[in-house]
Amino acid sequence: MTYQISKLRPFGTMIEAQNESSNIQDIKIEILRRLFQKSQLILLRGFNTFKNSDHFSKYCEQWGEVSLWPFGKVLDLVEQKNAKDHIFDNSYVPLHWDGMYRPQIPEYQFFHCVKAPKPQHGGRTTFSNTILALNNISKAWKDHWKKVVGVYQREMEFYNSKVASPIITKHPLRNFFVIRYNEPHLKNKGHLINTPHLKFSGVKLEEVDLFHQSLNKALYNAENFYAHQWQDGDVVIADNFSLLHGREKFKSGSSRHLRRVQVLSHPPYNNPGLETYK
């Protein structure tokens, strides 16, 4: 099988099929895992992928234990009429990490683009590489962020949960630091249904705005930030331990349909910051 590997900017790896019969299953998982560890994000484009949800989750199971939700293994990300949560709305989604409100935090996120929106309709998935963000920032800012702990509370269809996490923490499996941060909603970014409650301790009241601004600037800096424009059939595998992710808003009624599966690390990583979970 032939495929071409190239770098995405500023991070990530793109693997493109070179003929129409190339199947995603034919690429060895060990090769992909190595690229994943090196670049934190893999885009597979142009391959024959998955006929349905079940087929998709079966593929992901080859990578490790799939995280189980009340709805099953596969989340369909499609705009819902009268959505009760921003995830199912057409709004932007602030940066966060998956599983932050759940007992276990997945290492891998798999996205399969069943149907891409037209490019002019928005809806890119956003990724901030926090390893790069910490490498590209001064020690003074790092020292400032190190003092802060985020306390997040969120109630939605699948949980009601409270979690506390230092802004800078050690990567659960590897010997470097990452940022864990749920970006507060800013009204100038548009509406957001069912916003979580956020508090940040360890920073003086008069310095809170500056704290968020500095973090925001670093996370969205072009050196550290990648926004993925979907094409039909794209598969993206993202490192949920090192990246934060979100979404840009998209035109209501556009055809955007993604499927998402989360895969746990081996052994599974228990959420260290979970205070309450219902």
Torsions phi, psi for 10 (to 5 deg): -90, 0
- In the bound complex, what is the minimum distance in angstroms from residue 105's beta carbon to Fe ion? 11
**Contact region for Fe ion (CB under 5 A) — 55-63, 96-104, 155-163, 233-241?**
96-104
- In the bound complex, what is the minimum distance in angstroms from residue 2's beta carbon to Fe ion? 33
In angstroms, what CA-CA distances link 114 with 44, 48, 117, 254? 13, 12, 10, 13
Indicate the SS3 state at residue 276: strand
**Contact region for Fe ion (CB under 5 A) — 91-99, 150-158, 174-182, 199-207?**
91-99
C-alpha to C-alpha distance for 91 and 171, rounded to whole angstroms: 30
Given the complex with Fe ion, which of 43 and 75 has the nearer CB atom? 75
Contact 158, 70 (CB under 8 A): yes
Residue 239 found at the interface with Fe ion (CB under 5 A): no
**Contact region for Fe ion (CB under 5 A) — 50-58, 95-103, 143-151, 165-173?**
95-103
**Contact region for Fe ion (CB under 5 A) — 93-101, 192-200, 201-209, 223-231?**
93-101
Q: Which of 79, 98, 107, 234 binds Fe ion (CB under 5 A)?
A: 98
- Residue 190, phi-psi category: left (phi > 0), alpha (psi -120 to 50), beta (remainder): left
Instruction: Render the burial of 195-222: b for 16+ CB within 10 Å, e for the rest.
Output: ebebebeebeeeeeeebbebbbebbbee
Given the complex with Fe ion, which of 89 and 98 has the nearer CB atom? 98
Given the complex with Fe ion, which of 141 and 220 has the nearer CB atom? 220
Given the complex with Fe ion, which of 98 and 234 has the nearer CB atom? 98
Contact 103, 166 (CB under 8 A): no
Given the complex with Fe ion, which of 46 and 117 has the nearer CB atom? 117
Q: Which residue is nearest to Fe ion (CB)?
A: 98
| Pairing status of strand 168-170 against strand 159-166 | unpaired
Q: At what angle do helices 208-220 and 139-146 cross, to 10 degrees?
A: 120
Given the complex with Fe ion, which of 98 and 107 has the nearer CB atom? 98
- In the bound complex, what is the minimum distance in angstroms from residue 95's beta carbon to Fe ion? 9
**Residues that bind Fe ion in the complex, under the rule CB under 5 A:** 98
